[in-house]
Structure 1
Amino acid sequence: MPMNLIAYEQALRHHSVSRTIHHTGYKDSNERLEYLGDAMLNAIVAEFLFKKYPFKDEGFLTQLRSKIVSRESLNELAIKIHLNLLVEYDRKAMQNINLRNSIFGNALEAFIGAIFLDSGFDGCKRFIIDNLLRFHIDVDKLQSTETNFKGRLIEYAQKNNKPIDFVVEEIADGKNKIYQISVNFAGEIKGQAQHTSKKKAEQMAAQKSFELMNLSSEV
């Protein structure tokens, strides 16, 4: 049974609805717990993969861990376990779907941080492995899932001596910043995408370019 209810409540409170503690200036949001949960998640997933794949090298393990703990993966996990229904946030300020979805993945990390404070490392490890990795993630299938479209597109451009550039434009969306990425391949604009994360927008634009140029069989 959870004991530290205050930590769990804080884990589900986004900074858009946080309260400022006047004598310190500290905002009572889930950001500090998110930092803690991120560290726990990475360590536990790393150990899990290290034991699951005893003959795989560092590069394989690092790439697979990155897929599991990516922002997109965490957002999907938060929705699968219905954590998104419990998160407190300013719905008017977070009307952009990319902004809203990132809140849930961040809250999941904060929730993991709260579990660590409440149940220690072992309790945190049980939650991540039993409730997330084994129940909601097909780790073996994830091996073949392509996520680095930007890297593959750059590799294709270099192989064929074609210039490529990821053009960045910042768009104001109220208090939030949106990145619009346009892929300029050999002088032509191919895929475009927008996201609150610059890296995610680059990958989305690269994936659109990849599909538009029918490169799946060439890279």
Structure 2
Amino acid sequence: MLFRNLASLRHLFLSKKERVFLNAIQSITGQLVYNVGLYKLAVNHSSAAAVNFHGIKESNERLEYLGDAVLGMVVADYLFTQFPFKDEGFLTEIRSKIVNRESLNLLSRKIGLNQLIKYHKNQYAVMPKSIFGDSLEALVGAVYRDKGFLKCRKFIIEKIILAHYDLDELIHTTTNHKSKLIEWAQKENKQISFKVLDLNDSIKKKQFTTQVVIDEQVYEIGYGLSKKKAAQDAARRTLEVLEEQIDE
């Protein structure tokens, strides 16, 4: 109650523009904001950031780093609880569909966060799509620092997962990671191959191991009970590494 009263008192001294920003953030998060400065930082792209006296740009990149970790952990824990009899591969696939860059970019625009982002318009004729998802992760980081883990978890589950994702639909939507990676490689004039490394035999199963190679540079390794599944897993892992390049 004390923090709520202090926050309300501080908000009385905000400018009209700051109050509009505050209301927008509280509408998106569904939570009372205590530290407005954190949320201003969360939407401040590095292209628009000033350098402080420590020589560090005051951008959203540190909050993005934090939010990425918190978002991934909360989503992983939520799926772990929701699907107690599913294996690691299933959980990883569904988590990827929620937190991949393309999904976060779309969600950021859907909730209106993109309207709050500050970036240097002279540096970018059109705002890069990756900025949207980065800012959403930074917002998660801001909520975590401002309200603590439990409130941040509530925001992620209620305002992100339950409000914008149909888990049944995600389960039954097949993503062809290999085709997406090949399409990107062709667009960028890159040579791509999927190399089967070995076949691990055991009494109960045979597991294939496949590695993605792009322009003679090795990338991620995938595993599966068939060559097709191993290639899809390797492509999915590689897409996660290359996601910002692919989305730009």
TM-score by length of 1: 0.69
What residue ranges of structure 1 are gaps of 5+ in the alignment? 155-164, 169-179, 186-196, 204-219
CA distance in 1, matches of 2:189, 2:178: 12
Q: What is the deviation of 1:110?
A: 0.2
Q: Which residue of 1 aligns with 2:38?
A: 7
Given that 2:67 and 2:140 are in contact with CA atoms closer than 8 Å, whether structure 1 keeps it comes out as yes
User: In the alignment, residue 38 of structure 2 is paired with which amino acid?
Assistant: A
Given that 1:46 and 1:61 are in contact with CA atoms closer than 8 Å, whether structure 2 keeps it comes out as yes
User: In the alignment, residue 132 of structure 1 is paired with which amino acid?
Assistant: I
2:158 to 130, 152, 173: 130
Given that 1:166 and 1:202 are in contact with CA atoms closer than 8 Å, whether structure 2 keeps it comes out as no
How large is the Cα RMSD of the aligned pairs?
2.9
User: In the alignment, residue 47 of structure 2 is paired with which amino acid?
Assistant: S
Q: Which residue of 2 aligns with 1:46?
A: 76
Tell me whether 1:108 sits opposite 2:139 in the alignment: no
CA distance in 2, matches of 1:13, 1:94: 14
Equivalent pairs: percent with the same residue? 45
**1:100 is paired with a residue of what secondary structure?**
coil
Q: What is the deviation of 1:181?
A: 4.6
- Which has the larger share of helix? 2
Q: What is the deviation of 1:152?
A: 8.6
CA distance in 2, matches of 1:76, 1:46: 20
How do 1:40-79 and structure 2 match up within 5 A? 40-79=70-109
User: How many residues matched?
Assistant: 170
User: In the alignment, residue 44 of structure 2 is paired with which amino acid?
Assistant: R
Q: Which residue of 1 aligns with 2:230?
A: none
What residue ranges of structure 2 are gaps of 5+ in the alignment? 1-31, 194-240
- Over 3 Å counting, the alpha-carbon distance change for 1:183 and 1:90 in structure 2 is same
Per-residue deviation, residues 94-116 of structure 1 (Å, max 9, x unmatched): 234xx621101000000000000
Given that 1:74 and 1:105 are in contact with CA atoms closer than 8 Å, whether structure 2 keeps it comes out as yes
How do 1:79-158 and structure 2 match up within 5 A? 79-96=109-126, 100-150=128-178
Per-residue deviation, residues 193-213 of structure 1 (Å, max 9, x unmatched): xxxx8447669xxxxxxxxxx
Q: What is the deviation of 1:93?
A: 2.0
- Over 3 Å counting, the alpha-carbon distance change for 1:16 and 1:135 in structure 2 is same
**2:173 is paired with a residue of what secondary structure?**
coil
- Over 3 Å counting, the alpha-carbon distance change for 1:149 and 1:33 in structure 2 is same
CA distance in 1, matches of 2:246, 2:47: 26
Given that 2:101 and 2:243 are in contact with CA atoms closer than 8 Å, whether structure 1 keeps it comes out as no
User: In the alignment, residue 105 of structure 1 is paired with which amino acid?
Assistant: G
- Over 3 Å counting, the alpha-carbon distance change for 1:145 and 1:120 in structure 2 is same
**1:62 is paired with a residue of what secondary structure?**
helix
Q: What is the deviation of 1:151?
A: 6.4
Q: Which residue of 2 aligns with 1:211?
A: none
